[in-house]
Amino acid sequence: MARHPTSQQKQQHPPLSCILFPPHQLFNGKSMSGPARSQRCCCSFVIRNKCFPIDPRGQLPVDTFQNLPRLEYFSASENRLEEIPADMFQHMPNVGTLDFAKGNLRFINGNTFKSLQNLRHLIVASNLLQRIDADTMPRTLISLHYGHNNLTTLNGTLRHLDELKLLFANDNHLTSLDDELPLASPNLMTIFAQNNQIDHLPIEIKYLKNLDSLFLHGNRLKSFDGLLARSSQLTKLVAFDNEINHLRRDEFIEAERLEDLQLAENKLTNLNGSLQNMKGLIIANFSYNLLNEFSLQEVTGLRKLRILDLSHNKIEKLTGRMENLVDSGSIIYELRLQHNLLKSLDGTLMGLNNLKILNVAHNMLETITPDDLIGMENLEHLDLSFNKLNTLEELSKTFLPSLQSVNASYNLLTTMDKDFHGLPVLCTADLSNNMIRVLSVDLVSQTRCSNHGVPNKLEIFLQENPVLCDESLPELVSQMESFHTRLIGIAHCIVPQQIPIDSPIFMQPPIPLLKPLLQPQIPMVPAPVMIQQPSIVQILVPAPMMVQPPAFADAAAGMLQPIPSVQGIQDLQQPPVASPPQIAHIPQQQPYDELKYDAQPEPAAESETLAPPPEENDIAKIITPTTTTMKTILEFKNIIHDTYSAIPPEVLPMPLDKAQGLATEPEEPPETQQDQSVDDNDEVEH
């Protein structure tokens, strides 16, 4: 039984104004008493220090909610209610907010909220609603949340809600909003209808004069049909991930207050001058469409536009050059053109003198001209990566006084000489994964990194460039350090060499030694002094300079010769005469990408072929020049003394190159005829 409050308790607590149901406890019908047990109460909900019993069927007990005329907020969210009793609110007429979110409600009867004449906010989101009776909602509602249910229609429940300002109908199965919205409502400001199956806008939307925000993304819209042309109060339109393929020229003719336009992931091929009247536009997103050409005249006069996103389209050409810098009025801060098909900028960006971020990565640019970036005195970040640029020399002819970072990775650059002369405060330059062989100190002679007036070091990333395999790299590092520049990168450098091996077959890699080689060289414990990480790492992979080994057929024939007699043992015990091993000279390091591995060894000259004298028949003692694969890592710490002399590189052994495809376990050396003959001789003597 429920424990009713005493007169003393009634005096201690004022009249209730809020009831909260603890989550996930609507199926427990037990009751406990006593103020001390309120935190451990196992009944459905707790009011102050009192527990109330719940129907075992999972329904709210109507008789429990009597004499609550001042109750204003009622929440039963995150429970398992399947039905709201039709008469449970008869004794709480002043409830202003009801929250039944995250439950198991499947329908709402027409008389459920009939007695609630002051209801302002109703939340029934994240249930299993499939049906809502018509005329269910009180006319006093200001906000209504139907989101995340299974509704296929709103059943006209909104038509009479003239006071409604905020509507959530998102994440349902709605196919249309026809005859659903309040007719000519002067108050409806925000509609969330995303993630449904709506394929067209309702005609009622053109009469919502105070509509401020409209969320329609994740539907099947093909056009706006001019229904938003008179939406003079609209500030945000989100309609990405639809099937919109056309915009009328007068689509937003009176939408002068529109600030945020999100039309990404549609099927637009052009904008058709539809933006001309959006004087308040700040963000425009047209990414992931089918635009094949874009004219900057589309945004001429939009003096508040900050971000223009045209990425992930099929733009091959930019047009509409803004030659008149004064009349253009453009203050675009960020222009996104990545992932298009541009081969040239053709100077069309002239006039965007307020641009701070320019991204043209993942295009087909072959050159950058001075006209492309002229006047961009506020440009701070430039991304040119993943193009086909073979030089940045034209950058030296353009003065970009604010440029902090440039990304030119994954291009075809070969020489860097005076390319940074027009970039006085550059701090980061990513030149990785190019083909740079020449890197001049003059590159940074007129550049000094500065972050908001604070001097710092310029960092140049050179990963996988041939210049990192040059023999003069330590000297270059030292010279760059004198200009406050740090070179950073890892390169795989191929060093051809030969190693003499006393064996007729190729040696197997020392697999048992890999474990100690892979152990960290620096103790993994906190150190009192922070160890500086290496800025340049060379991974040297010795490549084979093949010398023809003895033919396997000849070796097999020698092994099958008759076992010598006992009298020939003394001759076998004589030391064999072998040619001295040939050690190949290690030439200058080569870039990793230039090495061409050959599955077959190169044929050697007849004079270099090492064959055993026929009379000795001693294969085991032949010294055959062959090759193995080693890897050495050289770390240039980039720590330069006052005299700018580079610290000698530390040589550390590294595991073998897996690309060689060598066996994982060493093979047993073959048994030779010499061993057999000696064993037979021992048996005869014994």
Could you report the per-residue pLDDT of 425-454, keeping only the tens digit for each?
Answer: 999 999 999 999 999 999 999 999 998 889
* 308 belongs to a structural domain: no
531 contacts 522 by C-beta, under 8 angstroms: yes
Which percentage of the chain shows pLDDT scores above 90?
50
Bridge partners (DSSP) listed for residue 283: 260, 307
* 547 belongs to a structural domain: yes
What's the pLDDT at 659? 36
542 contacts 654 by C-beta, under 8 angstroms: no
| Distance between CA atoms of residues 196 and 169, nearest Å | 9
Specify the long-range contacts of residues 133-142, CB closer than 8 Å, at least 24 apart.
133/107, 133/108, 133/109, 133/157, 134/110, 135/110, 135/160, 136/108, 136/109, 136/110, 136/112, 137/113, 137/161, 138/113, 138/114, 139/163, 142/166
What's the pLDDT at 48? 32
Q: What is the pLDDT of residues 348-391, one digit of tens each?
A: 998 888 999 999 999 999 999 989 999 899 999 999 999 999 99
| Distance between CA atoms of residues 45 and 150, nearest Å | 28
* 49 belongs to a structural domain: no
What's the pLDDT at 510? 57
**pLDDT (mean) for 657-674:** 42
Range of the domain at 655: 493-515+534-561+579-599+612-675
| Distance between CA atoms of residues 604 and 616, nearest Å | 23
| Distance between CA atoms of residues 510 and 131, nearest Å | 73
Helix (H, G, I), strand (E, B) or coil at 676: helix
In total, how many domains does the chain have?
1
Q: How many CB atoms lie within 10 A of CB 487?
A: 23
Q: Which of 56-70, 132-146, 224-238, 642-656 has the lowest mean pLDDT?
A: 642-656
Q: How many CB atoms lie within 10 A of CB 195?
A: 20
What's the pLDDT at 656? 38
| Distance between CA atoms of residues 313 and 440, nearest Å | 38
Q: Which of 48-52, 63-67, 254-258, 681-685 has the lowest mean pLDDT?
A: 48-52
Q: Give the strand pairing for 650-654 and 631-636.
A: antiparallel
Q: What is the pLDDT of residues 265-282, one digit of tens each?
A: 999 999 999 999 999 999
- Strands (DSSP E) found in 7-151: 18-20, 46-47, 50-51, 73-75, 97-99, 107-108, 121-123, 131-132, 143-145
| Distance between CA atoms of residues 496 and 13, nearest Å | 90
What confidence tier does 545 reach under pLDDT thresholds 50, 70, 90? low
Bridge partners (DSSP) listed for residue 301: none
Q: Which of 113-117, 180-184, 674-678 has the lowest mean pLDDT?
A: 674-678
**pLDDT (mean) for 152-163:** 93
Q: What is the pLDDT of residues 593-618, one digit of tens each?
A: 444 444 444 444 444 444 444 444 44
Q: Taking the alpha carbons of 406, 408, 409, 415 in that order, is the dihedral positive or negative?
A: negative
Helix (H) or strand (E) holding 516: helix 514-518
Cα–Cα distance list, 677 to 555, 567, 670 (Å):
17, 11, 14
Q: Which of 45-59, 274-288, 497-511 has the lowest mean pLDDT?
A: 45-59
What's the pLDDT at 162? 92
* 665 belongs to a structural domain: yes
What's the pLDDT at 83? 87
* 371 belongs to a structural domain: no
* 661 belongs to a structural domain: yes
* 469 belongs to a structural domain: no
What confidence tier does 230 reach under pLDDT thresholds 50, 70, 90? very high
Q: What is the pLDDT of residues 98-108, one digit of tens each?
A: 999 999 999 99
DSSP state of 520: -
pLDDT exceeds 80 at position 197: yes
10 φ/ψ angles, rounded to the nearest 5 degrees: -65, -35
Structure-block tokens of residue 119 = 């209801």
* 102 belongs to a structural domain: no
| Distance between CA atoms of residues 623 and 617, nearest Å | 14
Q: Which of 103-112, 213-222, 471-480, 666-675 has the lowest mean pLDDT?
A: 666-675
pLDDT exceeds 70 at position 133: yes
Which percentage of the chain shows pLDDT scores above 70?
62
What's the pLDDT at 653? 44
